[in-house]
Amino acid sequence: MAPSRTEPDLSFLLDHTSHVLRTRMAAALAEIGLTARMHCVLVHALEEERTQIQLAEIGDMDKTTMVVTVDALEQAGLAERRPSSTDRRARIIAVTEKGAEVAAQSQGIADRVHREALDTLSEEEGRTLVGLLTRLTRGHLATPVEAPQNARRARQRAR
């Protein structure tokens, strides 16, 4: 016999909504030939001069995935690797003019997907949900703990 639950299955609720939101985002961005990772790199590279390593950390990508993502952006003419203006030893990911246009378009798509998800709630419920999730990510659920087996990690917010 299965044990009785004493609390709601928060893990399932957060994981399921996150998974479905990611699939909707992937489908929407695919319409303009981008992946969520490509969108992440373009938007965060436009914010300030960042190295490939910094962008990989923001997007929670391993080195190989980051290289493949930047290669795809370069091949599409959306970004390029350049020497840093502040550290000649470092190389940054610079977004091209075309890449900046695509980033603006992809940000509009991301905003739309998020808005559509929140539109299923009242305006007040949406603000409350976002506020509560923000509090959790800045409080009790801000930092992962060490576990015997690695848990799959969600994308990290820029700091």
Closest CA to 42 of 61, 4, 20, 70: 70
**pLDDT attached to residue 159:** 44
* 25-138 classified as CATH 3.30.365.10: no
* 10-residue averages of pLDDT along the chain (159 residues): 90 94 98 97 96 93 95 97 88 96 98 97 97 95 83 54
Distance of CA 7 to the CA centre of its chain: 29
Q: Can you give the residue ranges of every domain in the chain?
A: 25-138
Q: How far is CA 48 from CA 16, 45, 104, in A?
A: 33, 6, 15
DSSP 8-state assignment for residue 3: P
Q: How many CA atoms lie within 13 A of 86 on its CB side?
A: 5
For the record, the structure tokens of 116 come out as 């559509």
**pLDDT attached to residue 16:** 95
Distance CA 58, CA 56 (A): 6
**pLDDT attached to residue 148:** 78
For the record, the structure tokens of 149 come out as 């087996």
Label residues 62-71 b or e (16+ Cβ within 10 Å = b).
eeeebeebbe
Q: 3-class SS at 92?
A: strand
**pLDDT attached to residue 149:** 75
Closest CA to 154 of 54, 3, 40: 40
pTM of the model: 0.84
